[in-house]
Amino acid sequence: MVIIDNFVRDTSLIEEMQNARYWDSIHSYKWVDNNSITNNSDLSLRLVNYIWKEYCPLNSDLSSVEGFEYWTGLYEAGDRTEKKDFDDNLFYHLFKHQDKDEKEWETSGKLICPLIGTIFYPHKDNDFVKGGDLKIWDTKEPPITGQSFELIRPKFNRLVIFDPSYLHAVTMVTEGTRRAIAINLWQNKPSTFLF
């Protein structure tokens, strides 16, 4: 896992991500091919380009990456969307899971995960959130009882890079609004996006 604070230095990009209209506009999962993201006016795609093309934090060759899946996650205290996990008796806004090709999983039971998972916290309000931590267990399969884990606080301008095949979740937000953008790097386009 890699955590980089104060990652985005482009102040105009950060300022645009404070706009409420942006957070109301994209909640669905979207896809962009690796060779299609440069010079794009879409704010989310500009962020993908900034992180993975302009300032690639891993010094990795991304030529084997076919594309990027991306979406926003917005969780508010008191929104009543949390679920209880009976393995550890805690509440989560986003229940424990592995990022995977959901359509392939549903049709064949085959687990295909992205190469790399990314969470970015672009909103200044993240510094005032209580709860909403990214929780990553040291296991790829339940149960989680007794498993060690990492807790990463949502923090303004923080980039988190991790292996999304490990079980992870978002703890319950108890105060404020947690805003994040998730970006998965895929070697092959998930069947979810094949039409």
State the CATH number of the domain containing residue 162. 2.60.120.620
What is the layout of strands, in order, in the sheet containing 158-162? Answer: 2-4, 158-162, 116-121, 177-186, 67-76, 30-33
**Is residue 80 in a domain?**
yes
How far apart CA 153 and CA 171 sit, in angstroms, is 10
Q: Which domain holds residue 122?
A: 2-189
Residue 28 placed within a domain: yes
Q: Provide the pLDDT for residue 175.
A: 96
Identify the pLDDT of residue 36. 85
**Residue 89, pLDDT score:** 85
Domain assignment present for 87: yes
- pTM for the model stands at 0.94
Q: Which residues contact 115 (CB under 8 A, 6 or more apart)?
A: 64, 65, 185, 186, 187
Distances (CA, A) of 34 to 92, 98, 189, 193: 32, 22, 10, 14
Would you state the pLDDT for residue 2?
96
According to the model, what pLDDT value does residue 26 have? 65
Residue spans of the chain under pLDDT 70: 25-27, 39
Residues 8/50, Cβ–Cβ less than 8 Å: yes
Quote the pLDDT of residue 51: 95
pLDDT of residue 137: 97
The rounded distance, in Å, linking the Cα atoms of 142 and 96 is: 9
Domain count, the chain: 1
